[in-house]
Amino acid sequence: MCMRLKLAKVKWFLGLFWLIALLTLAGCSEERRTKVVDYPIGKPFMYGNKVILKGSGTKDELKKLTTDLNNYWDDSARVRKEQRYLLGYRIKNPPVYNSINIIRSINYMNAYLNAQGYYYANFKDSIHKDSVGDQIRVNATITINQGKNISIDSVGYQLDDTTMQQLALQRMRGSQIKKGSPYSKQLISAELDRMISIYRRKGYYKLTREDLYAEIDTTDINLIELTLDPFKQAELIAESARKRRLNPTWNLTIKKRATADSSKLTQFKVANIYYYPETKITDVIDSITTSKGFIEEQHGDSYLRYQVGKFKYQPLKEHTFLSKGELFNEESYFKTMNTLGQIGAWQQVDSKIIERDKDSLDLYFYLVPALKQNFTIDLEGSRNTGDIGAGNLFGISTNLSYKNRNVWKRAIQSITNFRTGVELNLSLGNNNTNQQLVQTFNISAGHTFAFPKIIQPFKNWKALSTVDNKRTLLSFNAAYVDRKDYYKLRSILGSWGYEWKKVQRRSDDTWLFKPINVELYSLDTLPGLDTLFMKNPFLRNSFNTGNIYSQSLSYTKTINAANRKSHFIRLGVEETGLIFGLFKGLRNDIYRYIKVEAEYRQSKKWDKSEMAYRAFAGMGYNYGNYPGNKEISTLPFFKQFAVGGPYSMRAWGLRQLGLGSSNTYDSILTSTFRDRYGDMVLEFNAEYRFTMATIAGVKIGSALYSDIGNIWNLKKDPLDTKASFSLSNLATDLAIGVGTGLRLDFNYFLIRLDFAYKVKDPMRTENGGWMSIKNFNWTDIRSNGREVSNYALQLGIGLPF
């Protein structure tokens, strides 16, 4: 006991020492935290760069301009600072100061401002030299008054072709350039790209970006007015200069360049379509196009050319978005290539367009087959502990997978999985003679067919005509879980669903709809669980079994912004029993509930660090009666929420947090079964990740993080009121953990070791659940006399979110 107290004091003083050191270092100026190495001795060198904007504009506009302008320092004047050890910086090999490089930087910045519509900017540079030892440091500051941004006064189209002019006017609403829009070369470039895209979707196969240009008219129409009075003319010039300075505007006209090639104005149509589904990766496209060594099948206006016959024509046709006789559409052409490549049956898709006659195009698609079949074996391990000496669980599992990418020659994907694993108790020596080495054993097998199309009872569902990666999923799964001495759970699952995706430039939208989902469960309670039921009848609510006939819908959106910020949104809803519960014969044998989930993740990346956030909420409401037990009002335990472990609330062990601030589970005198499940979950995570070093190609990183959350039941139980959610008790019920960790990134996988401490534990009876700095403890004693750790070590694979 004495040794343990001494160890706790040592840990406490070490933690306090590092905290004070970190706060002291953070209080120093950035200059004192910056080290310069390999600098030129006796010569002034660049030590700092700074851009100051003095012009008007919104806070966000000025911030963006300042950030962008700092990227336009000349390379020989740019200072490159490397972040080291979280708060420190290092400058290596700083460039020698030369005033010419400052002038170059001003020219680069002026060119950038011109591109953004600022043509009347003023620049002033300031150079400050400072001697530190044998270092002659130079800080360069450029102060800029960018002036007013030029705006577009009018937008017009003069294309000298009736059809092109008509298309431009019809699609004018889609333009980002309108009267009053700020002038920007990037905006004009985007408008030219948009116009070319419109024309190439309407058959203008030979029209290119170089055939269009934007003409800018900066003339003030008042200056064209003829006058013989020199004073009047001077007044007009002065007035024009004043307007240009206060509110500069230009006129924009999109025009077509003159050309002698008349085919650029020809609208091409699709002729024949040829498929080569057995192309070898070593084949030369030009050679096989003219080769006679193929068997050819004609299907209407399309041709299938092969040598062995590994693929049917139907999946190729279903994923081709062009037909003979219609105007060539470049967007549909590339969509066809991308979709065929994403089915999975082919690893690579190439294409070629050959002109026929003066206005027709033959399309050739060359598809390289992917490896048809493959086996994979995965070995997974995880360790979860709330105490180094007691309560350790080590899980190990094996997953065997077989995949066939071309079932029945129709590019249908077939995946078979077999998984088995055990959860071992590593604390057998802690005077627990009744414990067993194997705590949990599970085994499961499943099979999924992924059809590369939507198989629906009704045809021509127009809502799905514009989406990508349409699939129909048929899945079966059987599982067996043996929680030693407590329960045995058997399940058989089957589902029929549809998945589709909408791909955009910087975001993807994925939908998964399962109109039919059947889950059959059988639960055997063993003596250990029956004993717990007698000690605490409340636990019986969490262990019930029955059948599920449900429908579910999930939506996922990923956004990758240009500023290295990414967003992830997931929404899901599952309903069971609404339809099948209408049948009296099934009403008493199935669950009836609705369950919803919502998750949002955001990450902002820098060169060697990242800030990540996650928010998750879930809720399930039981609006029916349990099969065989009308008194129970919660979800079945295999559909409830749980928190804790390597990926959720890391200061707590797996499934060891909750419910609310109830101590019901602590009243059970057992150390081998404390799993907790709830009908509602709220969780928020924030994590700052950074790279510390790279050794032998392995990135060694760390993180500082905080986890906030808990689980609850929705319906109140008079026997355990603190386990149900109440807005008035939310502050009391929320648990808070903070921690740090070590990450080893091998590129293809990441090993993570996290340490977390319970800053606020709803089960802690003192100080409102908050930790005490004065009476700091690594452990707490619960009401049942069991010693519980206030910290946890978690070993995980991959990032937590």
Concatenating the DSSP letter of every residue in 74-133 gives -TTT---EEEETTTEEEEESPPBP-HHHHHHHHHHHHHHHHHTT--S-EEEEEEEEEEET
Report how far residue 664's alpha carbon sits from residue 669's, in angstroms, rounded to the nearest whole number. Answer: 11
Query: Two tokens at 446?
Result: 């499943």
With H, G, I as helix, E, B as strand and everything else as coil, classify residue 557: strand
Residue 426, in any domain of the structure: no
Report how far residue 591's alpha carbon sits from residue 545's, in angstroms, rounded to the nearest whole number. Answer: 9
Which CATH number goes with the domain that contains 53? 3.10.20.310
Same domain, 541 and 672: no
Block residue for tokens 């627990």: 432
Report pLDDT for 10.
46
CA distances from 346 to 70, 340, 371, 411, 744 (A): 45, 7, 8, 9, 34
Instruction: Look up the domain containing 135 and give its range.
Output: 34-145
Low-confidence ranges of the chain (pLDDT < 70): 1-33, 83-87, 219-246, 380-395, 425-436, 458-466, 536-542, 544, 585, 587-588, 625-632, 666-674, 783-784
Same domain, 656 and 743: yes
Report how far residue 766's alpha carbon sits from residue 486's, in angstroms, rounded to the nearest whole number. Answer: 33
Q: How many CA atoms lie within 13 A of 597 on its CB side?
A: 18
Same domain, 182 and 115: no
DSSP bridge partners of 153: none
Same domain, 578 and 718: no
Report how far residue 378's alpha carbon sits from residue 645's, in angstroms, rounded to the nearest whole number. Answer: 21
Report pLDDT for 461.
65
Same domain, 72 and 120: yes
Residue 454, in any domain of the structure: no
Report pLDDT for 7.
42
Where is 274: in which H helix or E strand? strand 269-276
With H, G, I as helix, E, B as strand and everything else as coil, classify residue 549: strand
Same domain, 669 and 766: yes
Cα dihedral 30, 32, 36, 37 sign: negative
Residue 750, in any domain of the structure: yes
Give pLDDT tens digits for 24-60. Answer: 444 455 666 688 888 999 899 999 999 999 988 888 8
**What's the whole-model pTM score?**
0.75
Report pLDDT for 25.
46
Residue 201, in any domain of the structure: yes
Among 369, 403, 426, where does a domain finish?
369
Same domain, 141 and 159: no
Asked if residues 793 and 755 have their Cβ atoms less than 8 Å apart, the reply is yes
Residue 697, in any domain of the structure: yes
Same domain, 16 and 111: no
Residue 268, in any domain of the structure: no
365 by Cβ neighbours in 10 Å (0-12 / 13-18 / 19+) ranks as buried
Among 634, 665, 680, where does a domain finish?
634
Across the beta sheet with 122-132, the strand order is 44-53, 135-145, 122-132
Same domain, 259 and 300: no
In degrees, to the nearest 5, what angle opens at C-alpha 706 toward C-alphas 701 and 708?
Answer: 150
Same domain, 772 and 741: yes
Ramachandran angles phi, psi of 23, nearest 5°:
-65, -40
Roughly what angle, to the nearest 10 degrees, separates helices 99-115 and 59-69? 130
Residue positions counted in the chain:
801
Same domain, 490 and 503: yes
Residue 200, in any domain of the structure: yes
Residue 183, in any domain of the structure: yes
Same domain, 590 and 660: no
Among 587, 610, 634, where does a domain finish?
634
What is the number of domains present in the chain? 6
